[in-house]
Amino acid sequence: MRKLFLVILVALFMAGAVCSSVFAATPGSRTSPGRGEIAQMPYPSDPPKRFRLVRYIGLQDLDGIAATSIVIWDKTVDDGVTITTTTVSGDSSVAGILATTILTQDTVDNSAVQDIGLDNWAWLQTYGYALVDVSSANSIIAGAAMGTGTTAGLATIYMPSTDADWSTRTVSQGFAGFFFDDAAKSATDVEAFVRTE
């Protein structure tokens, strides 16, 4: 019986050792999107992430949208592949967080098909560990729900709208995930878990 207990103890110790290197509070591999290594072994420790190739139209004189921005689905184009920014807090059409910078459209009024292969496409992260920039509205509390803020591209704490006017309330129910850590107002590269699909 004592031997069995010893065996279980050793097994738990080994499991703990592996876990501590994989799921450490702030492992070096927490660079999103990225990969990390466990000690000398060639195994990445990042959790799974989902990305979607999306398009941006934007105005011709703008620079595009930077990586780590929170974005929404474009409700003017209505094609399900075009994203844009919003100034609606907790926007219900939240799409995810940009993993790479996206540029504006080269030719005005091009459809998504006409834009294929051009530089106004980038990766939207819809699931998993991500880095996001936050607005100056609130400081962030670890574990708080995440949503869009009133500044384009910047995330903030999401609170479901309780507006008595249903038409206003219904467009502000966009839950996008949660924050891993506390963060100051206007912080950049805040650790979050995006969950929009």
Partner 1 sequence: MKNSFVMIIVVLFATIITFLLVITILSADELTIPYSCYPKVIQTKFAEHNLKLDLNGDERTKDSWGFIKNEGAQYKIFTYKSITREELNLVTKIVGETAREELQDGENDSR
Question: What mask, x for binding partner 1 by CB under 8 A, covers residues 83 to 102?
Answer: ----------------xx--
Question: What mask, x for binding partner 1 by CB under 8 A, covers residues 18 to 37?
Answer: xx--x------x---xxxx-
Which residue in the set 50, 136, 175, 181 belongs to the binding site for partner 1 (CB under 8 A)? 50
159 binds partner 1 (CB under 8 A): no
Measured at the CA of 15, the angle between CA 9 and CA 20, to 5 degrees, comes to 125
What does 66-104 look like in DSSP terms, one character per residue? -TT-EEEE-TTT-SSSEEE---STT-TTEEEEESS-BPP
Which residue in the set 24, 62, 66, 116 belongs to the binding site for partner 1 (CB under 8 A)? 116
Q: Per the omega criterion (within 30 degrees of 0), is the bond before 33 cis?
A: yes
Tokens of 81: 């592949």
Measured CA to CA, the distance from residue 194 to residue 197 in angstroms comes to 9
Residues contributing to the site for partner 1 (CB under 8 A): 3-4, 6-8, 10-11, 14-15, 18-19, 22, 29, 33-36, 38, 43-53, 67, 81, 99-100, 112-113, 116-118, 121-123, 128
